[in-house]
Amino acid sequence: MAKIGVVGIVIRPNGDNVKSINALLSEFSDIITGRLGVPDRESGVNTIAVVVRGENERISALCGKLGRVDSVRVKSAIVAVDLDM
């Protein structure tokens, strides 16, 4: 069953981690339907909300890979719905 949800990414930029995140988001672009990035210049923390639509395994793979990037925290809210894929 297809799932739809939001993946929240919080980043403390430290060099290559932003490049790694962008590379992963490009790799999983087939399940990403929207993306909103908000930098917080005051704290130096960046946040990205990514709307995803796809199979659970693919969404979980994206979240797992993002979570292994240095200085990155990831949380997801995923819902099972009947979607035509």
- Contact status, residue 10 vs residue 33, Cβ threshold 8 Å: no
pLDDT digits (tens, 9 = 90+) for 14-71: 878 989 999 999 999 999 999 999 999 899 899 999 999 999 999 999 999 999 999 9
More confident residue, 12 or 81: 12
Q: Please check whether residue 58 lies inside any domain of the structure.
A: yes
pLDDT digits (tens, 9 = 90+) for 28-40: 999 999 999 999 9
Strand partners, 74: 9
Domain hosting 50: range is: 2-80
Q: Please check whether residue 85 lies inside any domain of the structure.
A: no
Q: Please report which residue ranges of 1-85 form alpha helices under DSSP H.
A: 17-27, 56-67
- Quote the CA–CA distance of 85 and 66 in Å, as a whole number: 24
- What is the value of pTM for the model shown? 0.89
Domain holding 67: CATH number?
3.30.70.1150
Q: Please check whether residue 50 lies inside any domain of the structure.
A: yes
User: What is the number of structural domains in the chain?
Assistant: 1
